[in-house]
Structure 1
Amino acid sequence: MHIIEYLTSDLFIAFVTLLSLGSIAGFLAGLLGIGGGAVLVPGLYYMYTHFGFSEAAMHTAVGTSLLTILLTGTASARSHHKLGAVDIPMLQKFIPGIVGGVIIGSILALYLSAGALKASFAVLQISFALYMLIRGNKISIYPTMPSQPWFSIIAAINAALAALMGVGGGVQNVIYMTICNVPLARAIGTASALGPVIAVLGAIGFMIIGQSSNATLPYSTGFVHWPAFFCIILTSVVTAPIGAKLTHQLPTKKLKNFFTAFIFIISIKMIYEVLFK
């Protein structure tokens, strides 16, 4: 194959796309504690659809995204922990609710169609983007985190949504903590450490529920696509620590505004496709 033919081949385009997605997702995971799913799920979905795997595209995008967050989130969390931004006692309080929530979210995914899953993802992301846009930097509403059982109930709801949508739960957990007066940098650091816990449980769930599907992609275990996973983590684990360091060095307002706009554009496109295609 000539070099020009290779550079324009589907294989090369997919490889470059996945490396790019990994770079962006890793950087944002470190910078904002989001896990990277908000970038990976729509990116993988459109790539799979482009290559003719539309039937399993959304579920595979979610499952694969979750598994990548395991490593990307770990790289991000380690960097935040070195900078003293992970609240370990609070992290431990999150765990019971997260375990229950991820199990619920994975079970719900089994009964949702691709269209319903896509619409749910889009609505969730738009809701968080609207909140970030409206509140800006004035996010704090309550003086402290809630006591039990409300702490675990809210953690479970956040984890269920995260597992269902293929995200690390960072967006909703950062918002949850900052609403309750946790400093933004500490909320981002703690949320980044929660992502791998949600991701590993959710990814296992999508591997299992995908076993009963006849529409899985080649080289997949259930709804986890291994070639995409390995390509993404090649770059995401490198850029996640870079983003984590910048969290503590640069103002993130402009980047948050950019990210909010990105969420709006992708989510509205998904909703349009559900309604009109």
Structure 2
Amino acid sequence: MLLSDILMLMLCGGISGFLAGLLGIGGGMILVPFMILVFNHLGFSQEVVVHMAIATGMCTILFTTSSAIWAHHKHGSIDWKLVAALSPGMVFGGLVGGSELFEALKTSWLSLFFAVFIVYTSIQMLLNKKPKSGRELPGALGLFSFGTFAGALASLVGAGGAFITVPFMLWCNVKPHTAMATSSGLGLPIAAAATLGYMYGSWGNPNLPTGSMGFVYLPAVACIVVVSIFTAPFGAKLARKLDVAQLKRVFGVMLFFLAAFMFNESRKAFGF
């Protein structure tokens, strides 16, 4: 990689780590468009470039989320019982989604699916709409079923799962700050399972470049993580001081531009 590629990935890593700690998101979604630019510049096959960007972004969540988890844990914000209850389903869903479904999707459809997901997330950020409290947390079977769905969906878009786990927890009367912090704890099992699924499902693919383990491009992971592990605790610290609702709206606007980029990638993949 050229120095410009390395610097872009490091900059994105710093931003994604900060957002992971501040907003409870995995940070992978903002990495994907920029990694596509870098991977295209490196001449990667168009058959795998989007898959690699999403898988590599998810792999970085393993490290970024670990840093954010420790920062939230020190303040007693994470509900570890809830993490333990949801994790088995999320691991199962992440493995299935990361290996079977992810590999089966063509680049054109994966780009389109990711773009639609970003639009949905940006609208949620702009509205900052809180779900009405509806009920208590379901039993073991209900939590496993929801975890499976959340894990599979998160693995398809390379996100830590906060976009679906936080609204679910709020609907079940979990306190907002606890829900945000707990989503960081849930990001680790999702990221681990999905990453293993990405590697297993794509092992031996002839289109993969040197330096990759399945769809995960290790040099990019290193560039991103070396910065994100330091900015994630900073974001978690500021989450208790800043107006996060306003920051979400700014982030929502930025996501619209990223969605436009991904829609254009999808258009090119479809040949329009």
Give me the TM-score of the superposition, normalised by structure 2. Answer: 0.92
Distance (whole Å) between structure 2 residues aligned to residue 235 and residue 14 of structure 1: 15
In 2 relative to 1, CA 125–178 (structure 1 residues): closer, same or farther, beyond 3 Å?
Answer: farther
1:111 positional shift: 0.6
Partner of 1:114: 107
Matched-pair contact (CA < 8 Å) for 1:128–1:172:
no
- Residue from 207, 227, 238 that aligns with 2:230: 238
Q: What is the alpha-carbon root mean square deviation over aligned residues?
A: 1.7
Letter in 2 for 1:24: I
8 Å CA contact retained: 1:178, 1:187: yes
Distance 2:144 2:220 in 1: 33
8 Å contact kept, 1:35–1:195: yes
Equivalent position of 1:38 in the other structure? 29
* Matched residues, number: 267
Task: Find 1:192's aligned residue among 179, 184, 195.
Answer: 184
Instruction: Give the letter for the 2:71 counterpart.
Output: S
Q: Whole-Å Cα distance in 2 between the matches of residues 195 and 255 of structure 1?
A: 21
**Structure 2 Cα separation of the partners of residues 117 and 216 of structure 1:** 17
- CA drift of 1:115 comes to 1.4
Deviations 1:60-105 (A, max 9, x none): 1122112111111000011001111100111111012112211221
Match of 1:261 in 2: 253
CA drift of 1:248 comes to: 1.4
Q: Which residue of 1 aligns with 2:70?
A: 78
The one-letter code sitting in structure 2 at the alignment partner of 1:201 is: A
Match of 1:183 among 175, 194, 201: 175
Select the residue among 89, 96, 102 that pairs with 2:81.
89
Deviates more, 1:46-55 or 1:69-78: 46-55
Residue of structure 1 equivalent to 2:139: 147
Say whether residues 1:99 and 2:95 are aligned partners.
no
Can you give the 5+ residue segments of structure 2 that lack an aligned partner in the other structure? none
Amino acid at match of 1:19: M
| 1:221 partnered with 2:213 | yes
Contact 1:163 1:202 in 2 (8 A): yes
1:162 partner SS:
helix
- Aligned positions of 1:161-172 closer than 5 A: 161-172=153-164
Which residue type is aligned with residue 105 of structure 2? Answer: L
Aligned counterpart for 2:15 among listed residues 19, 24, 32? 24
Find the aligned partners of 2:135 and 2:222 in 1 and give their Cα distance: 42
Deviation at 1:186, TM superposition (A): 1.0
Checking the alignment, whether the CA contact within 8 Å between 1:170 and 1:188 is kept in structure 2 is yes
**Deviation of the 1:148 alpha carbon:** 4.1
* 2:125–2:251 Cα contact (<8 Å) kept: no
Q: What is the rounded CA distance, in whole Å, between the counterparts of 1:261 and 1:178 in structure 2?
A: 24
Q: Within 2, Cα distance between the matches of 1:195 and 1:117?
A: 21
Indicate conservation of the 8 Å contact 2:96/2:197, yes or no.
no
Amino acid at match of 1:261: V
8 Å CA contact 2:126, 2:250 repeated in 1: no
Q: State the Cα distance separating 1:137 from its structure 2 match.
A: 4.6
**Inter-partner Cα distance in structure 1 for 2:260 and 2:146:** 27
Letter of the 2:145 counterpart: I
Q: TM-score scaled by structure 1?
A: 0.90
- SS in structure 1 of the partner of residue 2 of structure 2: helix
Give the match's secondary structure for 1:212.
coil
Cα distance in structure 1, aligned partners of 2:255 and 2:25: 12
Distance 2:221 2:247 in 1: 26
Q: Which runs of 5+ in 1 are unaligned?
A: 1-9
Any idea what the Cα deviations from partners look like across 1:165-191, whole Å, max 9, x if unmatched? 212112221222223332222111101
* Map of 1:3 onto structure 2: none
Q: CA deviation at 1:226?
A: 1.0
